[in-house]
Structure 1
């Protein structure tokens, strides 16, 4: 795929990048509950790649380059042992890959090289999305006030992720670990979802980590 132009969304530059929640964090008071029931944290500047194509050929390339297999079941989420890289099933021919800051550009190139002339598409969505993490004993309760999707552990176990309604926005809701939930949010919805979560979690005691 030598005729494809790639763009590094996080080049080394003097201008400091700002996360989607930079304004929210600087303009709103940071809550610091003594014994918080909900803890919020933005996992900013992660690499987000959307992969589309045939499952078999993509799975072979992803296993070769990333060491993870594509989730084959609807709503399945695969996370590496360190919890830093993940692949999520979005639709029958679409997956979301999230990797640490600085890895997306090189990962895209290695995937394109591994896929060769196969029929596929890779889109770097890193600049257009962010991840808001929820943890704490009342995180699920805060989600129950915010989404119509059933987040009971029997219906939403660890390793599941879905695209659903959150307040009046659309988000990807995922549960990578037993004690952690994540919202993959569009940049334009980030401030709205963050403010909503602060309000929804206030009764349980909420704090925000850097």
Structure 2
């Protein structure tokens, strides 16, 4: 583990012991499609990720972007919403001087805190967020029912993301593939959002693995 700066306590997700807020609420299979037809949307939870928010002090933005790149292999641009996603980690801009960083490594948040050092702050969100993957040819169509944002190729290239909301449910969305999006919501809203997402996908037909 990286050497942590004073005052920072890492609390990595212990996947063998952690319990998803969606436990008992995720039903696998195909829904909303006739026998023999293929669903247009795939839904699933990305459970056990390490998630952190990095906020740069004024004038230290470039150093924080460099720290994120060194830790999560995510090369970030200056433009609002810009991001980068790799197989095991990714990051995107959620507000001026603020980035959401996530990955599969249990050491990610501690390593980020060490890399950012005195150039900003790192907040561990691993235990307070649920990440749901929405994929498939009609993924944008389903998400457009819930969020009034532009998810087109031109507006959101792969890796980029944004912060938005569906009524009182705050969400951060990152495009992670050709038709794939990761939606970050507060853990306390996870069940409500999951059921809402499933109902929204019924018309297109969806699969839960």
TM-score range, shorter chain: 0.7 to 0.9
Under a length normalisation based on structure 1, what TM-score does the superposition of the two structures give?
0.83
Give the unaligned 5+ runs of structure 1: none
CA contact (8 A) 1:74 1:89 kept: yes
Deviation at 1:134, TM superposition (A): 0.9
* Greater helix fraction, Structure 1 or Structure 2: 1
Output the CA distance in 1 between the equivalents of 2:40 and 2:144: 14
Output the CA distance in 2 between the equivalents of 1:161 and 1:123: 19
Give the unaligned 5+ runs of structure 2: 32-36
Under a length normalisation based on structure 2, what TM-score does the superposition of the two structures give?
0.84
Deviation at 1:42, TM superposition (A): 0.5
Per the alignment, residue 58 of structure 1 pairs with 64
The change in CA–CA distance for 1:67 and 1:32 in structure 2 (over 3 A counts) is closer
Count matched residues: 198
Output the CA distance in 2 between the equivalents of 1:4 and 1:204: 49
Deviation at 1:110, TM superposition (A): 3.1
Deviation at 1:168, TM superposition (A): 4.2
Please list, as runs of the form range in 1=range in 2, the aligned pairs for 1:57-96 lying within 5 A after superposition.
57-80=63-86, 83-96=87-100
CA RMSD of aligned residues (A): 2.2
Per the alignment, residue 189 of structure 2 pairs with 189
CA contact (8 A) 1:77 1:176 kept: no
- Residues 44-69 of structure 1, C-alpha deviation per residue, up to 9 Å, x if partnerless? 11000111112122133333334333
